[in-house]
Amino acid sequence: MICRKATGPNARRIGSLVLNFGGPGVSGVSGLPELLNQYEPLLDRYDLLSFDPRGVGATIPALREDRARHRLRRGRRLRRAL
């Protein structure tokens, strides 16, 4: 996660904006600094936060069970219940 604190006076600050740069495969941790000049007007009133979605940058990919194995295991559970 990356954060850029608001630069305006405390009385004018509203809160935080979380930016997801889309993708798939787009890093928000590197995207925010690269595109900060486009978001500069927001920094007066908002903290800007961004992140790397799972499987991007330094994150760990989601673990996925093989779909066929999942279906087979599910079928076995159903048969046992009957």
Radius of gyration for the alpha carbons in the chain, expressed in angstroms and rounded: 21
Given a cut of 80, whether residue 18 has pLDDT beyond it is yes
State residue 63's pLDDT score: 64
82 pLDDT more than 60: no
* Helix ranges restricted to H, the chain: 28-39, 67-81
In degrees, rounded to 5, the angle at the alpha carbon of residue 10 between the alpha carbons of residues 5 and 13 is 65
Closest CA to 51 of 9, 79, 16, 78: 16
Q: Where are the domains of the chain?
A: 2-81
Q: What is the pTM of this model?
A: 0.66
Question: In Å, how far are 15, 38, 49, 50, 62 from 12, measured between CA atoms?
Answer: 10, 20, 18, 22, 40
Summarised one tens digit per residue, pLDDT across range 28-67 is 899 899 999 999 999 999 999 999 888 788 787 766 656 5
